[in-house]
Structures are given as structure tokens and as C-alpha cells.
Amino acid sequence: MKDWMKLIPDSELATYKSAGFLSDMKLGKNPALIVVDVTYGFAGYEGQTLAESIATFGSACGPVSWEAIPKIARLIEMFRARELPIVFTNSNANDVPFTGKATKSRRTKAPAPQANDFPDAVMPRAGEWVLGKTRASAFFQTPLMSYLVQKGADTLVFCGVSTSGCVRASVVDGFSNGFSTFVVDECCFDRSQFAHAANLFDMDAKYASVVSLEELALLMAPAADTSKAA
């Protein structure tokens, strides 16, 4: 059993399964990766405690960020190797008063200078799209849908932060727009492990297939060519 699932009561897992929830989605032929808000503002600096990262950026998630970032980097490389679309989201730098608008939280400090920057391990390459957004969902009043249609995407794979906030909001909107949706569990992080687990469970039950990085790699592996079999 995955670590996050251990926080879900067995009785509730059984109830959901008996009601038809927690079914698997099908990975399409043209998946796109959405990397949600993996910036210093939500990660903090490597080596900081949670309290130190919050003192620096207000919205940061601390050590769990830096446990997830190397795995996110592997996920990004998986899509780069296949030349599949990748979208990186961050806060809209043109909207200076953005702080706190994505949720009802009241953050009292202005964003630190590096808040909207990406750590080196997940830095977008030239030609990869960085999508500025002003609300939790990557779809809300952005051209993301037009971009995905242009690329012929039929499946969305999500990772990033926070599991209970911008990731979840983007997943729900992705599903609502008709895409097969997948969430890579160890490539998401949250300042609350309870919220992380509860939201992975809820997304897996209703809006997405929540899979591990290894499980996704198997799903994306090319089918064996049996045409030359004797």
C-alpha cells in the first residue's frame, strides 16, 4: 500500500470501491505534462525547515518540496525524451497584487524576489511554455485549453504543488474539459501531509488516476512489437 493511502481508513476505501469510485482512467496516445507552480515561492530554499521556508516566502512547503523535486525532474525528462508537450505554471508576474488571490488565505508579506523562479532541477528549457496564472486552476482565464487542443493532447498528467490547492483545482478542470487525467503521487507535495493524502484519495476516487512515477513509466512504455514473431 502506498504511504499516502495508509492515512485513509480501510472502511472508507471499501465504501468508495463498493460505490464504483476509484476506477482507473485510460492513458491516451498524446499525453501532456502540467507542472503546477514548482517555484521557490512554494518550495522554499533547499535545506530550510518548514518554518524557515514560510518565513522567507509565506506560501512555501519546506522539506517535502525538495523530496519531490528530484522526482518531478525525472517525470519532466520522461516527457522530454518522448518530445511530448510540457507546461510549467507560475504566478502571473504582471499581476503584482496576486499574492493570496489563488485562495482565501491572507498572506501579509509581499513575494520575495525569487518567489516566481523555478529551481534549477525543474527549470523550463527554451521552447517550453511557462504559463502565468492568477487563480488556483491552470485553466482559469488562461489560454491553456487552446494550447492543448493545438497540440492534440488527449491526456493530462499533473504534478506539483499544492496537492490540495492548485494541483487539485487544475485536475478537476482538466477532467471537466474532457481529458483523461493522471496525477503522479510522489511528484506532488503540500504543506500538510493530511491534506496531501486526503486530496490524492479524493482525486483518485472522482477525477483522475493517481499513479506512481514507476506506474506511469510502465503505462507510457511502447507496446512490444509482435509483428515479427515467428
Determine the Cα–Cα distance for residues 116 and 113; give it in Å rounded to an integer: 8
Q: What is the pLDDT of residue 108?
A: 52
Catalytic residues: 166
> Backbone phi, then psi, for 11, in 5-degree steps?
-65, -35
Residue 146 has pLDDT above 90, yes or no: yes
Report the interhelical angle of 193-206 vs 168-176 (nearest 10°). Answer: 10
Cβ atoms of 182 and 25 within 8 Å: the answer is: yes
Q: pLDDT tens, 2-50?
A: 888 788 888 888 888 888 888 888 999 999 999 999 999 999 999 999 9
Q: How far is CA 154 from CA 25, 179, 204, in A?
A: 12, 6, 18
Q: What is the pLDDT of residue 43?
A: 95
Determine the Cα–Cα distance for residues 87 and 32; give it in Å rounded to an integer: 8
Q: pLDDT tens, 81-135?
A: 999 999 999 987 555 444 455 665 555 555 677 899 999 999 999 989 999 999 9
The residues that bridge with 133 in the sheet, in sequence order, are 91
Q: What are the domain boundaries of the chain? A: 29-99+114-220
Q: What is the pLDDT of residue 229?
A: 43
Q: pLDDT tens, 174-225?
A: 999 999 999 999 999 999 999 999 999 999 999 999 999 999 999 998 754 3
Question: What's domain 29-99+114-220's superfamily in CATH?
Answer: Isochorismatase-like (3.40.50.850)
Determine the Cα–Cα distance for residues 115 and 96; give it in Å rounded to an integer: 12
Q: pLDDT tens, 157-176?
A: 999 999 999 999 999 999 99
Determine the Cα–Cα distance for residues 210 and 13; give it in Å rounded to an integer: 14
Cβ atoms of 159 and 195 within 8 Å: the answer is: no
